Amino acid sequence: MLRWIFAALLALPPTLAPAHAEEPWPSRPITILGGFPNGAGTDIYARKLAEPLSRALGQPVVVDNRSGAGGNIASDAVAKARPDGYLFLLGTAGTHAINPGLYRNLPFDALRDVTHVTLLGDVPNVLLVSPEKRPQYRGCEDLMAAARARPGALNYSSTGNGASTHLAAAQFAAATGIELTHVPYRGQPGAMSALLAGDVDLFFNQTGPSIGPVRQGQVRALGTSTLSPVQALPGVPTIAAACNLPGFETSTWYGLFAPPGLPSAIQARMNGEISRILSTPEFRQWLVETQGITPPDDLTPEGFRRIHERDIGRWGEIIRQSGASVD
């Protein structure tokens, strides 16, 4: 009897046979998780990317932010999620290259507990002062002269202890041989408000949220942390040139991660679609002229992983030199 039943099942037409094949990907909405608040640079980028990506994949791409612990809450959620292609993380050099050296006990491995999808762009910093509260700082030489005259008297805001805005200033102080006092704030708005109020002397902010205040004359940009001038800030020199620091450079990056073990076919599809979006003139113009972000040269997952590995070591050394840590 059993042999007869098995033979009958094998003879069924394919349309009547039990269906065990997995449904094609994607067949439902995809979420891009961010580790910082609404309105942060990662949130702005993710929402800008979500629209064309939704059209390309034929499914909604929604953005969800779980802020806290320097981005570690969202990073940990993705590190432990199912690798089914429906949850991704818009991570940063801060979350995955700086935090490993900054936090003593991360609940995930920043390099192993991810699948690299694609790099999304380099994010430079810009050295800002207040023309109203500190009119004497008309250029980098003025700032350095004041710092040398009063070691430790000049202070700078940052978006948090160990953030790229903190470490960029620490790099600058080490490169110039000056002593600056660090005043951390909880995020970009607080750090910028402190600069505008005259509570601090300078702020190494990310380029994107600095463009508007620079163009409106609220802040003065003394230099960018890139080797080449930033197109979105015409007339602003590089710190390397303005401060006579040949080779000075400090920037971070945005990148798209997935949980570890993501099927290679899904990784390749996501990488291909995002690479095409980033290569369009419209999206590149938005990156360069509106956000001050440099589009990546290498969009492959392998290239992203190499940069990630390199920067864990690079930022780890900067953290050791600065003495920054978070318990």
With residue 88 as reference, give the H or E element that holds it: strand 87-92
pLDDT at residue 15 is higher than 70: no
How much is the pLDDT for 319? 87
Cβ density class 279-310: b for 16+ within 10 Å, e for less: eeeebeeebbeebbbbebeebebeebbebbee
pLDDT at residue 17 is higher than 80: no
Specify whether the CB–CB gap between 232 and 207 falls below 8 A.
yes
Q: Which residue has the tokens 């640079």?
A: 41
**Polymer length of the chain:** 327
Q: What is the pLDDT confidence band of residue 3, given thresholds at 50, 70 and 90?
A: very low
What the block records as the tokens of 209 is 């949220």
Q: State the helix-helix crossing angle for 188-197 and 207-215, rounded to 10 degrees.
A: 30
**What's the one-letter identity of residue 318?**
I
CB atoms within 10 A of CB 160: 20
Give the mean pLDDT of 23-48.
92
The mean of the pLDDT values for the chain is 91
Four-residue CA torsion sign, 288, 293, 297, 300:
negative
Write the CB contacts of 316 (distance below 8 Å, at least 6 apart in sequence). Answer: 100, 101
Specify whether the CB–CB gap between 83 and 264 falls below 8 A.
no
Q: What is the pLDDT confidence band of residue 320, given thresholds at 50, 70 and 90?
A: confident
How much is the pLDDT for 7? 45
pTM of the model: 0.84
Specify whether the CB–CB gap between 59 and 30 falls below 8 A.
yes
Give the mean pLDDT of 224-251.
94
Q: Which residue has the tokens 């762009």?
A: 121
Give the mean pLDDT of 261-267.
98
pLDDT at residue 54 is higher than 50: yes
**What's the one-letter identity of residue 37?**
P
Higher-pLDDT residue of 310 and 38 is 310
